[in-house]
Amino acid sequence: AQSVAQPEDQVNVAEGNPLTVKCTYSVSGNPYLFWYVQYPNRGLQFLLKYITGDNLVKGSYGFEAEFNKSQTSFHLKKPSALVSDSALYFCAVRAFSSGSARQLTFGSGTQLTVLP
């Protein structure tokens, strides 16, 4: 069975500092990885995805994520955090070989707070 772990429920970072939100996964075969963000009182928004190719994936709002196959990780990063980045972040994984859209597993979420 596939799974996603977001080991930190809460991450606090000062504005202007780099931020990292951690994600590790377990899946059979090659992974299809995603990051989503949920701003207060809103639905989720897609941030970025990794399928194949370059291990560093760039997404919306200046975010990027680094795929590390040996560590089975897909950490979300941003060089300089903004207060407006404060939100709930979800990592998700699916086996690349799976043809079904329903086979997506979400992590439990990490609340990011950027302090002014």
Q: Interface residues with another protein (CB under 8 A)?
A: 4, 9, 32, 34, 41-46, 90, 92, 94, 98-102, 104, 106-109
For residue 22, give the DSSP letter: -
Q: Which of 24, 55, 21 is nearest to 38 (CA)?
A: 21
For residue 109, give the DSSP letter: -
Tokens of 2: 């596939």
Considering the complex, what minimum distance in angstroms separates the CB of residue 94 from another protein? Answer: 6
Q: Give the C-alpha separation, 4 to 1, whole Å.
A: 10
Q: Which of residues 46 and 61 has its CB atom nearest to another protein in the complex?
A: 46
Q: Which of residues 72 and 106 has its CB atom nearest to another protein in the complex?
A: 106
Considering the complex, what minimum distance in angstroms separates the CB of residue 101 from another protein? Answer: 5
